[in-house]
Amino acid sequence: MSNTIASKVYRDKYRSAALDSLLSRALVSEAVFSKDTSGLKTLQNPYGSQPTSTVQAIAGTYSVAEYLTYDDTLTVTDEIVVAEHVFDFEETLTNFDLFSNRTMEQGMSVSREADKYALNVILDEAGASYTTPAAGFTTAENINVIIANIIGKVSGYAEMYKGVFIVLENSDVAGVVQSQMASGFSYSDSAMNNGLLTKQGGVEIYVTRDGTYVDETIGTKTVTNSGHRLAGVKKVATFAMPGGFKFEEKGVSGKTGMEVVTYSYIGAKAWKTKEDLLIDITILVS
């Protein structure tokens, strides 16, 4: 199928390496959630009860408490699939490597859908909530207030050392950038010169495209997140892709060229014992 890489074995190696590199850069979910690619369909809750320490007069004795586990599971019920047919004449007559192009385009398509799935499922299960001031993230004056309230929602938890995040859509960016360019000397200079966006007030900022947070059915999950955003402590929810991304290349009867398919199984979970570390942000329009 490819003029540049003659053997399917080498094409498979190329595609695997290209997808791994692309998805490690493109997936917001991989940055803010724990990722599991173990191949298990069902994952058990990795968190148990929180231990409680006691301050007492020196006695050399202690009471033993029970360690509790919680019956909470992540079951993978969905998959992401993208498939295209590349005719031989398309590959032969083009002046660029169509195989490489379709590998990258399919990888971007899969990463967008993976993020949309994981962010919406976990947002729907978030245990904490917060409503922004009027106009939400589009007003620069609101940004520091929102950031401060996000930090306040999760402060005091032991997991804070993992870092705090917020995932916005691209239409939210204008207010954030204006806020950064108007803040303090060296910080605003950095924003002016470098388009600073990655962090504010210690909160890591990630951006996806508009339309990521939705009211719709995604696979087997029905979510109601239009007008909402997700924030919280990093790495306390789990994003599962059993076996990672897979791909197939096959001939089809009656057609020249090859059919190229990229797919993955997917699941996501906000664990019951950690739900309060994740914040469902409602944007107040006016």
Overall residue count recorded for the chain in this entry: 286
pLDDT digits (tens, 9 = 90+) for 15-42: 666 666 655 555 889 899 998 988 888 8
Q: What is the pLDDT of residue 3?
A: 47
CB of 30 closer than 8 Å to CB of 233: no
Tokens 């589009």, residue located:
138
The CA–CA distances, whole Å, from 270 to 55, 100, 130 equal 33, 36, 17
Q: What is the pLDDT of residue 98?
A: 72
pLDDT digits (tens, 9 = 90+) for 60-113: 998 887 776 677 899 999 999 999 888 877 666 465 577 777 777 887 888 889
Q: What is the pLDDT of residue 21?
A: 62
pTM, two decimals, is 0.83
Q: What is the pLDDT of residue 26?
A: 59
Amino acid letter, residue 183: S
Domain parsing of the chain, residue ranges: 8-44+71-282
| DSSP 8-class letter at 219 | T
Backbone angles phi, psi at 134, to 5 degrees: -55, 135
Q: What is the pLDDT of residue 5?
A: 43
| DSSP 8-class letter at 62 | -
Rounded-to-integer distance, Cα 136 and Cα 138, Å: 6
Q: Which of 45, 208, 19 is nearest to 117 (CA)?
A: 208
CATH architecture of 8-44+71-282: Alpha-Beta Complex (3.90)
Judged against a pLDDT cut of 70, whether residue 158 lies above it is answered with yes
| HSE of 33, CA atoms in CB hemisphere, 13 A | 32
CB of 80 closer than 8 Å to CB of 23: no
Amino acid letter, residue 81: V
Judged against a pLDDT cut of 80, whether residue 7 lies above it is answered with no
Task: Name the average pLDDT for the chain.
Answer: 84
Backbone angles phi, psi at 45, to 5 degrees: -55, 120
Amino acid letter, residue 279: I
pLDDT digits (tens, 9 = 90+) for 45-66: 887 777 778 898 999 998 887 7
pLDDT digits (tens, 9 = 90+) for 218-272: 999 999 999 999 999 999 999 999 988 787 888 888 888 888 888 889 999 999 9
Backbone angles phi, psi at 240, to 5 degrees: -105, 135
Q: What is the pLDDT of residue 214?
A: 97
